[in-house]
């Protein structure tokens, strides 16, 4: 009997959530995702130190003024790590726009175009990358513009159906609903324990998956932010799942028969009228978990972005 990871790969595209080249090489996923926190962690690894030094040298040669050099060095480092990852995976690498731009559509578009240009300088085309953007209203509208330019996006920090709907209606290529962070909120606020089948994060992704398939939205659903293998297995059959190296290792050592939980039954229902900005904001506001976790996620990514900048500033 094959291990559960091998069985999962047969029904779901497995993506690794890491900036660690060693882990990516070990598990050989189809795609890989990074974020500011993972890049900060990667900056401490042996493989990345020369990349960080090279990114600083590049920024000094192509930008003037400390803030501009810091910004370009961070972008160049993210792209160079992504470029290295692209040589290990056959699919796409997700690189995230600075979280501090989450409420500025035009600045998000401009940053995405800069990242694409840096990738192109490294010989990596748009067909190999996804630009990660927070699922704020402004971020979703930025994704709409980018998708129209042929730059495909991964809408992250997604905690609510209103976000999922708006992303699909904007033509986003992929969404990353966060499973574990939803569970975190409910455990902290209800003081209850949850099984994989009652896990609010799992149920949220299942609802989004069924909504997309029933209404014929092509946007890819990629569950993210897992706390345990039970959550992962409870979403077997989802389009994609991005999983940390630690959980991938656990799954590779587990045996048994995988129970497929999600199956695309085909489009059966006409798409609803697109959400307005007011409807989106109200529905998100009505959900304390989604509102709090979106804001917290943006803040945490911004904190790690600043830490990376401080690390670079110490080497200027």
Q: Residue 1 has what pLDDT? A: 67
Which of 111, 132, 213, 261 is labelled catalytic? 132
Q: Residue 316 has what pLDDT? A: 84
Q: Residue 55 has what pLDDT? A: 96
d(CA 247, CA 251): 6
The whole-model pTM stands at 0.95
Q: Residue 133 has what pLDDT? A: 98
d(CA 45, CA 311): 14
d(CA 136, CA 128): 24
CA distances in angstroms from 182 to 26, 220, 279, 293, 296, listed in the order given: 29, 20, 22, 8, 12
**Domains assigned to the chain:** 4-31+95-301 (3.20.20.70)
CB 304 within 8 A of CB 38: no
- pLDDT tens digits in sequence order for the chain, 316 residues long: 699 999 999 999 999 999 899 999 999 899 999 999 989 999 999 999 999 999 999 999 999 999 999 999 999 999 999 999 999 999 999 999 999 999 999 999 999 999 999 999 999 999 999 999 999 999 999 999 999 999 999 999 999 999 999 999 999 999 999 999 999 999 999 999 999 999 999 999 999 999 999 999 999 999 999 999 999 999 999 999 999 999 999 999 999 999 999 999 998 999 999 999 999 999 999 999 999 999 999 999 999 999 999 999 999 8
Cβ-based neighbour number of residue 44 at 10 Å:
10
Q: Residue 19 has what pLDDT? A: 87
> Does residue 132 have an active-site annotation?
yes
CA distances in angstroms from 115 to 2, 19, 67, 276, listed in the order given: 40, 17, 17, 29
């Amino acid at each position: 009997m094959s291990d559960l990871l091998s069985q999962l790969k047969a029904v779901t595209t497995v993506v690794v959530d890491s900036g660690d080249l060693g882990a990516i090489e070990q598990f050989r996923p189809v795609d890989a995702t990074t974020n500011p926190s993972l890049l900060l962690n990667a900056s401490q690894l042996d493989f990345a130190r020369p990349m960080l030094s090279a990114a600083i040298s590049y920024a000094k040669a192509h930008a003037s003024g400390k803030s501009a050099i810091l910004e370009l060095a961070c972008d160049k480092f993210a792209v160079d790590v992504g470029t290295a990852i692209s040589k290990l995976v056959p699919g796409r690498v997700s690189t995230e726009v600075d979280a501090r731009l989450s409420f500025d559509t035009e600045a998000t578009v401009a940053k995405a175009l800069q990242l694409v240009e840096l990738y192109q300088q490294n010989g990596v085309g748009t067909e190999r990358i996804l630009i990660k953007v927070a699922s704020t209203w402004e971020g979703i509208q930025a994704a709409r513009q980018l998708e129209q330019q042929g730059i495909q996006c991964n809408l992250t920090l997604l905690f609510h159906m209103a976000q999922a709907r708006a992303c699909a209606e904007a033509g986003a290529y992929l969404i990353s609903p966060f499973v574990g962070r939803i569970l975190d909120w409910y455990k902290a606020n209800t003081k209850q324990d949850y099984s994989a089948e009652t896990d609010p994060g799992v149920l949220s992704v299942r609802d989004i998956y069924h909504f997309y398939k029933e209404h014929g939205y092509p946007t890819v659903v990629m569950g993210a932010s897992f706390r345990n293998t039970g959550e992962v297995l409870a979403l077997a059959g989802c389009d994609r799942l991005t999983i940390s190296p630690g959980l991938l290792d656990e799954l590779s050592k587990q045996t048994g028969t995988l129970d497929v939980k999600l199956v695309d039954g085909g489009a059966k229902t006409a798409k609803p009228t697109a959400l307005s900005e007011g409807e989106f904001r109200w529905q998100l506001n009505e959900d304390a978990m989604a509102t709090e976790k979106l804001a917290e996620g943006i803040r945490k990514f911004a904190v790690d972005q600043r830490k990376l900048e401080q690390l670079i500033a110490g080497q200027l």
